[in-house]
């Protein structure tokens, strides 16, 4: 079942719950509907996520509220018998559906058109191939490699890669703010960079191939993180200095948890430009950079 079907089912169930509550004289929460559009009956339902203490008759409700305020974890939600209460269960299903959608949906063509990025492709032939065959996302397909060899800027200090990775939702939510902030930071520091590119269904290691083609000093990948139930909108930034065939994970610097509830994308863009300057200064990334700084 895709996310649209799940969300439709969930909000219909929520609407039913709210209707029963209103009938019993209880205060309705956050489900609202608007009807009638162009002669058709259309229902728009808005479900506002709220951190409500669901424990019945808690001994210390303030402590539960304080704990819920500092974590997205599902604590203090209460239960009915051995199960979650209906509202929390439906909220869980919405978050789970959003996480699945972030992995499988892919970045929209409208988004790519708006960002005006060159679009390349890894060797992954489908989302199933991408998820099951790690190596397929680590190399460009033949057509993309040919394009890159002919068109990528050569000899720049920085090459930026944007990849859907495991969260297309994260890319669409963060890149419009992060990318301009990163580029502005590079310009202020007079660091040269090649035109940013988007690579569909690619993994971090594809940056090694791009660095080899572009002959750049630093390659940075902005890639969708594996989504969870707390958020499906997070991305990470991986930087590496002059990767070779001997480059390992410890040679890469990573900044993760970039999203509105973690590191805000504009702040992340500014910080990444500072980090790139350090990588260029010390001619190192990853563990080596941490030891030199």
Single out the residue of 8, 190, 166, 189 nearest to residue 93, CA to CA: 8
Check pLDDT > 80 for residue 1: no
pLDDT over 70 percentage in the chain: 78
Q: What is the pLDDT of residue 167?
A: 80
Q: Does the structure show a pLDDT above 60 at 114?
A: yes
pLDDT at 228: 63
CA angle 104/105/107 to nearest 5° reads 125
pLDDT digits (tens, 9 = 90+) for 66-85: 888 877 777 888 888 888 88
- According to DSSP, the residues that pair with 121 across neighbouring strands are 200
- 3-state secondary structure (DSSP) of residue 252: strand
Distance CA 167, CA 102 (A): 5
Q: Determine if the pTM surpasses 0.85.
A: no
Place of tokens 């859907």: 164
**Tokens matching residue 159:** 């090459």
The strand pair at 252-258 and 235-241 is best described as: antiparallel
In sequence order, what are the beta bridge partners of 237? 222, 255
38: confidence class by pLDDT, cuts 50, 70, 90:
very low
Residue 46 has pLDDT above 50, yes or no: yes
220 closest CA partner among 253, 188, 250 = 253
Q: Does residue 20 carry a pLDDT above 60? A: no
Under the banding of pLDDT at 50, 70 and 90, the label for residue 250 is very high
Specify the DSSP element, H or E, that contains 128: helix 127-132
Asked if residue 22 has pLDDT above 60, the reply is: no
Residue 229 pLDDT level (bands cut at 50, 70, 90)? low
With cut-offs at 50, 70 and 90, classify the pLDDT of residue 26. Answer: very low
Average pLDDT, the chain: 84
Closest listed residue to residue 189, CA positions, set 267, 98, 275, 72:
275
Euclidean distance between CA atoms 167 and 107, whole angstroms: 9
Mean per-residue pLDDT for 222-240?
82
Residue 75 has phi, psi (to 5 degrees) of -120, 150
Q: How far apart are CA 155 and CA 118, in angstroms?
A: 19
Residue pLDDT, tens place only, 180-204: 999 999 999 999 999 999 999 999 9
Is residue 176's pLDDT more than 80? yes
């Amino acid at each position: 079942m895709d996310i649209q079907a799940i969300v439709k089912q969930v909000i219909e169930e929520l609407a039913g719950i709210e209707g029963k509550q209103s009938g019993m004289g209880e205060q309705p929460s956050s489900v609202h509907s608007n009807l009638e559009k162009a002669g058709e009956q259309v229902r728009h339902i808005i479900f506002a996520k709220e951190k409500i203490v669901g424990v019945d008759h808690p001994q210390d409700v303030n402590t539960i509220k304080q704990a819920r305020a500092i974590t997205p974890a599902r604590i203090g939600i209460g239960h009915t018998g051995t199960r979650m209460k209906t509202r929390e269960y439906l909220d869980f299903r919405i978050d789970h559906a959003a996480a699945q959608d972030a992995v499988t949906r892919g970045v929209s063509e409208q988004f790519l058109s708006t960002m005006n990025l060159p679009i390349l492709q890894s060797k992954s032939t489908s989302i199933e191939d991408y998820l099951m065959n790690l190596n397929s996302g680590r190399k460009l397909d033949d057509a993309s490699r040919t394009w890159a060899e002919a068109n990528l800027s050569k000899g720049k200090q920085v090459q930026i890669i944007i990849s859907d990775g495991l969260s297309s939702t994260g890319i669409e939510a963060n890149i419009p703010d992060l990318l301009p902030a990163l580029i502005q930071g590079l310009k202020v520091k007079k660091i040269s960079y090649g035109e940013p590119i988007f690579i569909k269904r690619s993994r971090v290691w594809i940056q090694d191939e791009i660095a080899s083609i572009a002959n750049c000093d630093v390659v940075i990948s902005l890639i969708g993180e594996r989504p969870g139930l707390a958020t499906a909108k997070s991305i990470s930034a991986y930087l590496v200095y002059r990767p070779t065939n001997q480059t390992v994970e410890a040679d890469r610097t990573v900044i993760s948890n970039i999203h509105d509830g973690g590191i805000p994308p504009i702040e992340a863009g500014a910080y990444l430009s500072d980090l790139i300057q350090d990588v260029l200064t010390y001619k190192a990334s990853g563990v080596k950079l941490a030891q030199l700084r």
